Structure 1
């Protein structure tokens, strides 16, 4: 199956960490957003290793699992990743609000610092979606 189901989207819109693998790299924990168009989006510093790898080989995957204490469940998305120059700061701000309490002045300052740098948006276009629920 190559599309995310409504159940997948509901699960992926929770504040869970995903584990991103780009081309020949090792998995890294990331914030992500399941977009309305069925893509998975994340942001990264422009000079990050994952960006350099994605430029050389645009294959990527992300795996998201339910946390301990919940029934076992995961969704894995594999596909081509595109690197977009627009929308990264807006995505970073949305995700920071999803994962952090931005009323905390330390976290608000962390976000402000993050937004000072050059960010890119990485978009995974699903080609294969696998899932498991127990």
Structure 2
């Protein structure tokens, strides 16, 4: 699969799932160490906590790997990385690095019967488990 490195506005990228896990598989949140400096801690973190810390400026979009995206036949951009996209969109981020795929991603856009609702700019997936 080939990728083109681009920047995208998360507010214009759509979720490819209708629900997401409430935790990342790795940690992106911060804590204050004994020297009063922020550092990454090493346990899975809640998408809500990471979002709050991004809103406060404690972590930046560049602290994350680029999200993988795909444009469908209608020109709508869909994400393969729904938890990171959720954080970026909720935190109001307007530009993030992305890898644009020339072929559909592992999480292809939803089937046509779900796609219309999920393609709306105000759509957010359910966060499972709170």
Q: Decide which structure has greater helix share.
A: 1
TM-score by length of structure 2 reads: 0.28
Which protein has greater RCO, CA pairs closer than 8 Å, 6+ apart? Answer: 2
Q: Decide which structure has greater strand share.
A: 1
